Amino acid sequence: MTVQLLVQMTMTGVTLGLIYGLIAIGLTLIFGVMRIIQYAHGEIYMLGAYILYYWFDVLKLPYWAGFVVSALVIFFFGAGLQLLLFRPLHGKEMLYSLAVSLALIFIISSAGLIFFRPVGRGISSFVTGQIQIAGAEWTYERMVIAGISLVLILALWFLLQRTKIGLAMRAVAEDPETAGLQGINNRRIHWIAMGLGSALAAMAGCLFGTLMWILPSMGFLATIKAFMIVIMGGLGSVPGALVGGFILGFIDSFLTTLATSEMAYIFGFIVIFVILVFKPSGLFGQEWE
């Protein structure tokens, strides 16, 4: 193995890890606060990507404004879903909210097939050019995307750790009853968390769509990756989502390059099994009742 190959694999692993982490972080936030497993997380991610595609590539409006617009639109979309669909099921059996989120998968992806058609599209790059590090190539686009993913993850951490709203979210996540007794409006926190988690998915979709391609069926794969990471890192844990993202990103990068893509696929699941054997709640997860 050459230094160039090692550096290339590492840089690919870092970029992938951060994007995976960003996809997973929204899912873990939603579960952490609302105790809902949002299976349609990938479909939300897909919608975010398409909003940016139509804004930037079709309407020819500025890229970063579109990124923000996509996040805002999906924030309110997610909040709306919580208010209309999930709130009435709060306190009931988890099975009901599972059924709703499963139904959302089919509704959103089928609507996507009708409106966007099953034809691959690409969000054009916002920057071109690259640098070489020890013979390995790293594009400015990947650097910016990795950087933004990191900033967003850190911003979420800051929000949760250093702001009142974040404190309220953590309180609701830990003990909703006591949080309510302390004067925290649980219902308000729920729709904010859902909106925020959805917005993070949308932003991940925008970044991924710029790096790769977009398709109405792209959400399914994103959901699988997000669940793998969240299970690895621990349901409801933001640091867990980041660490899980890196683990999966490095597995994908190194094993695909050095062995085969099937090996990377299998090994990813083996790692999850091993983690769950020794720590059933995931690396940073809490024991939920």
Partner 1 sequence: MRKAMMLFAGLLVLAVLVGFSACSRGTPSGMIQDKIIKIGGCVPLTGGSAYWGICTDQAWKDGAEVINARGGVKIGKDAYKLQIISYDTKTSTPDAQTVTKRLIEQDKVKYIFNQAAASTVGMLEISEPAKVLSSVACWGYLEMYGKDYYYHFRSEMSDYEQGFAYIPYMKAKYPGVKTAVFIGPDDKDGYDCYYSYQRLMKYYGIQDLGVEYFQWDTVDFYPLVTKLLQKKPDWIITSPTPPQQTASIVKAAREMGFKGPVASPGASETKTILEVCGEQADKVVLPVTIEAMQTQVQKDLAERFAKRFGNFNLYAGNLSWWVYALAEAFEKAGTAEDTTKVAAALGDVVLKDTFFGTARYGGEGAYGIKRQGLYDCYTTVIENQKPFLADVRFPELPPGY
Interacting residue ranges for partner 1, rule: CB under 8 A = 5, 8-9, 12, 15-16, 57, 113, 118-125, 128, 130, 137, 139, 142, 208, 211-213, 215, 217, 221-222, 224-225, 252-258, 260-262, 264-265
Cα angle: 210, vertex 142, 264; to 5 degrees? 90
* Residue 135 vs 280, nearer CB to partner 1: 135
Minimum CB separation from partner 1 for residue 119, in Å?
6
* Residue 76 vs 106, nearer CB to partner 1: 106
* Residue 132 vs 163, nearer CB to partner 1: 132
* Residue 61 vs 113, nearer CB to partner 1: 113
Minimum CB separation from partner 1 for residue 109, in Å?
9
* Residue 126 vs 157, nearer CB to partner 1: 126
Dist CA 49 CA 54 (whole Å): 9
* Residue 117 vs 279, nearer CB to partner 1: 117
Minimum CB separation from partner 1 for residue 181, in Å?
44
Minimum CB separation from partner 1 for residue 222, in Å?
8
Minimum CB separation from partner 1 for residue 213, in Å?
4
Could you identify the residue written with the tokens 């054997």? 277
Minimum CB separation from partner 1 for residue 20, in Å?
9
